[in-house]
């Protein structure tokens, strides 16, 4: 890797889960990295995050399995209930055969804990320089380098630049220029409840989803069961732009008025919700140009209904580092190979996340069909439907390509 070591550092714009994972993955290949974050500190708001078996394979590559395992909760089941009738629709066991088949666990973690694991690993690397309080607003590419300029007038020279700057990516506008993300018309309220406040009959050691007409509620344990993550979603055309702020509980209660007693009991427990206006984009196949590329939400923002946005960003990081190593520092070639290995997989997740949103929020005949189809499935059939996402699959939409060294 001498070629890489002698070059200017790779610049990464954005220090979220994707940017930190990319810094770590590149440093593991001997590559120097300068990560530039606009905020004064590295922090993750918004409670919990689900981690599929696919991302545990990436943790293995990055040497993070033990650190993540110490902080994660490992649920017994994925349970879906009908939030109108209160009846269970389906229950997929996440231990036993699930683990045997997918080789890695399904986990739930506090976002701040996952970020802390990534940050500690980055701080422990001499090859990574973390820069905060600088917002990149402009990028210039010359024959042998990239120059990033910040809002406060600093410049950073790098051998290549990775835009890991999230849904509202500045680097995407420079590279792809496709305007604002698409507002889904779905609003998410998120909150964290202490175990003491969680009704005892709902303290399930599972990932639970109550599906209703144009609404759904998710809850699951985190931090050894000391906390429960709550995510309430409903359709609304009231909001046009994605932002996060404090939500209006009155609107939430109105939207969930038709749901069963346990759901309303849970919603009543929360006084303060944070609100997100959900956005995504349709998939694209080209998010790189020369020494510039994108990663994570900047490249393929998706709705959260498959719980995979962060997992995809970490897969991207591992894939990108493998391609940079294989091309021995020829970043333009490496970035082409990286996006080639990633666009169908991430595109499939983007599209399927929208489909799952429809599925969770179905009404009328669609709701009946959903309940009928899912309740008739064996765990084996459920696992089969997850194979492309969680299995170490070498096909065009599997994660095998991210692991390939070539
Ligand atoms: C309600 C909800 C639930 C979710 N649940 C899950 C889940 O269970 N599992 C899962 O895998 N995913 C989940 N996701 C998706 C996941 O949160 C995102 O996909 C993931 O956090 C994206 O990480 P990122 O690093 O690409 O972007 P971000 O987390 O957005 O990070 C971007 C970073 O770049 C910085 N930045 C932006 N612009 C600039 C600039 N110009 N200069 C410098 N810095 C800049 C920002 O400050 C930020 O720190 C969920 C999302 C939502 C909304």
pLDDT-based confidence at residue 243 (cuts at 50, 70, 90) = low
Q: Tell me which of 12, 13, 16, 39 to substitute to probe ligand 1's pocket, judged by most ligand atoms within 8 Å of the beta carbon.
A: 16
In the predicted model, what is the mean pLDDT of residues 89-103? 96
pLDDT-based confidence at residue 1 (cuts at 50, 70, 90) = very low
Q: Tell me: the pLDDT tens digits for 176-235?
A: 999 999 999 999 999 999 999 999 999 999 999 999 999 999 999 999 899 999 999 999
Q: Tell me: the pLDDT tens digits for 275-290?
A: 888 999 999 999 999 9
Helices of type H across 245-330 = 249-255, 261-268, 309-326
Within a 10 A sphere around the Cβ of 330, how many other Cβ atoms? Answer: 17
HSE value, Cβ hemisphere, 13 Å, CA-based, for 386: 24
* Ligand 1 center–CA 163 separation, angstroms: 12
Ligand 1 atom with least separation from CA of 18: 25
Distance CA 293, CA 300 (A): 12
Using only C-alpha atoms, the chain has a radius of gyration, in whole angstroms, of: 21
* Ligand 1 center–CA 41 separation, angstroms: 15
Ligand 1 atom with least separation from CA of 298: 26
Within a 10 A sphere around the Cβ of 239, how many other Cβ atoms? Answer: 16
Q: Tell me which of 11, 13, 14 to substitute to probe ligand 1's pocket, judged by most ligand atoms within 8 Å of the beta carbon.
A: 14
Helices of type H across 16-64 = 17-27, 53-62
* Ligand 1 center–CA 298 separation, angstroms: 9
The answer, yes or no, to whether residue 2 has pLDDT greater than 50, is no
Q: Tell me: the pLDDT tens digits for 101-111?
A: 999 999 999 99
DSSP calls for 266-285: HHHT-S--EEEEEEE----S
Distance CA 324, CA 319 (A): 9
**Under 8 Å between Cβ of 282 and 181:** no
Distance CA 192, CA 110 (A): 10
* Ligand 1 center–CA 259 separation, angstroms: 30
The pair phi, psi for residue 73, each rounded to 5°, is: -110, 145
* Helix, coil or strand: residue 66: helix
Distance CA 17, CA 117 (A): 10
Per DSSP bridges, beta strands 128-131 and 274-280 are unpaired
Within a 10 A sphere around the Cβ of 386, how many other Cβ atoms? Answer: 19
The DSSP H or E segment spanning 123 is: helix 111-123
Distance CA 276, CA 233 (A): 9
Distance CA 116, CA 213 (A): 37
Ligand 1 atom with least separation from CA of 135: 42
Task: Write down the residue that tokens 């393929």 correspond to.
Answer: 300
Around ligand 1, the residues with Cβ closer than 6 Å are 13-19, 36-39, 49-50, 135-136, 164-167, 170, 188, 190, 231, 276, 296-298, 304, 307-311, 313
* Ligand 1 center–CA 339 separation, angstroms: 19
């Amino acid at each position: 890797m001498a070629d890489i070591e002698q070059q200017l550092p790779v610049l990464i714009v954005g220090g979220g889960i994707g940017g930190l994972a990319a810094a770590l993955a590149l440093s593991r290949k001997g590559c120097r990295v300068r990560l530039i974050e606009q905020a004064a500190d590295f922090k993750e708001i918004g409670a919990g995050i689900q981690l599929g078996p696919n991302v545990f394979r990436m943790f293995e590559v990055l040497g993070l399995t033990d650190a993540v395992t110490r902080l994660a909760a490992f649920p017994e089941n994925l349970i879906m209930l009908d939030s109108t009738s209160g009846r269970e629709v389906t229950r997929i066991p996440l231990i036993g055969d699930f683990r045997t088949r997918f080789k890695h666990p399904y986990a739930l973690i506090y976002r701040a804990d996952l970020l802390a694991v990534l940050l500690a690993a980055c701080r422990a690397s001499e090859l990574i320089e973390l820069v905060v309080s600088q917002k990149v607003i402009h990028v210039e590419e010359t024959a042998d380098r990239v120059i990033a300029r910040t809002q406060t007038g600093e410049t950073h020279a790098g051998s290549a630049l990775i835009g890991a700057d999230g849904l509202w990516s500045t680097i995407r506008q420079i590279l792809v220029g496709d305007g604002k993300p698409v507002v889904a018309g779905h609003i998410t309220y998120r909150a964290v409840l202490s175990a003491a406040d969680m009704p005892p009959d709902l303290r399930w050691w599972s990932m639970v989803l109550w599906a209703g007409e144009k609404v759904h509620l998710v809850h699951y344990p985190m931090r050894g069961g000391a906390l429960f993550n709550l995510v309430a979603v409903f359709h609304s055309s009231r909001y046009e732009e994605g932002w996060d702020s404090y939500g209006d509980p009155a609107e939430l209660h109105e939207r969930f008025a038709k749901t069963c007693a346990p759901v309303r009991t849970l919603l009543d427990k929360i006084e303060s919700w944070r609100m997100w206006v959900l956005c995504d984009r349709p998939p694209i196949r080209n998010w790189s140009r020369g020494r510039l590329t994108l990663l994570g939400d900047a490249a393929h923002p998706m709705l959260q209904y498959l719980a995979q946005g962060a997992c995809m960003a970490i897969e991207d990081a591992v894939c990108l580092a493998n391609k940079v190593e294989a091309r021995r520092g020829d970043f333009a070639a490496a970035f082409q190979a990286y996006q080639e290995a990633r666009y169908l997989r991430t595109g499939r997740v983007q599209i399927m996340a929208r489909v799952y949103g429809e599925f969770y929020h179905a009404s009328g005949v669609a709701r009946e069909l959903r309940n009928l189809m899912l309740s008739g499935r064996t765990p084996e059939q459920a696992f089969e439907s997850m194979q492309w996402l969680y299995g170490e699959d070498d096909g065009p939409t599997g994660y095998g390509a991210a692991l390939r060294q070539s």
